[in-house]
Amino acid sequence: MKDHKVVSNEYTWIPLDKRVSLYGGSLSPRKAETRTPIFWLARDRDELYFVNASKDVLDFVIADGGGFETVDDEVVTVNNVDQYEYKNVKPNDAVKVEEYDGFYDLDYLLQVSIMVQSKNYGKLEIRSPAEKGGVDETVLLWDSGESGKNVYIKKP
């Protein structure tokens, strides 16, 4: 059984040009970001959250994860048996959509697929980029209507 979690007002997206290094200094100079995310993924240690930064209450969020690893000439695939499902996700709520193992998942290329529905955005099928060891912070949809880098969005 999946451990479902909903947290409110816990994640705030900070543009890369405004972030501070782990050592207290500024990061290397970057172009100022004028867009803000509508939907994005935030990672807290081994847990991945889908953040609803829109002004809409989402009818539902359904998430599933999977991936693969190559070993010599063989390919090993992994996928979840159960999905994460949430209804009526409020603005500024973050819902848990995946959990990684900080040791065993390091060699796998992992990806998250998310189905979202709301009044203003309709039904969206979203796939994150595949990343080794699991997905990190990723903007899925910008307020300009653009998808995030290497993010797949489809209106089914």
pTM for the full model? 0.90
Q: pLDDT tier at 69 (50, 70, 90 boundaries)?
A: confident
Residues 6-27 have pLDDT tens digits of: 999 899 888 877 777 778 777 7
Q: Which residues contact 123 (CB under 8 A, 6 or more apart)?
A: 115, 116, 117, 155, 156
- Note whether 117 and 123 are within 8 A (CB): yes
Task: Specify burial of residue 103 (Cβ count, 10 A radius: 0-12, 13-18, 19+).
Answer: exposed
Residues 82-140 have pLDDT tens digits of: 899 999 999 999 999 999 888 878 888 899 999 999 999 999 999 999 999 889 999 99
- Note whether 55 and 143 are within 8 A (CB): no
Between CA 110 and CA 129 the distance in angstroms is 8
> Per-residue pLDDT for 1 more than 60?
no
> Per-residue pLDDT for 70 more than 70?
yes
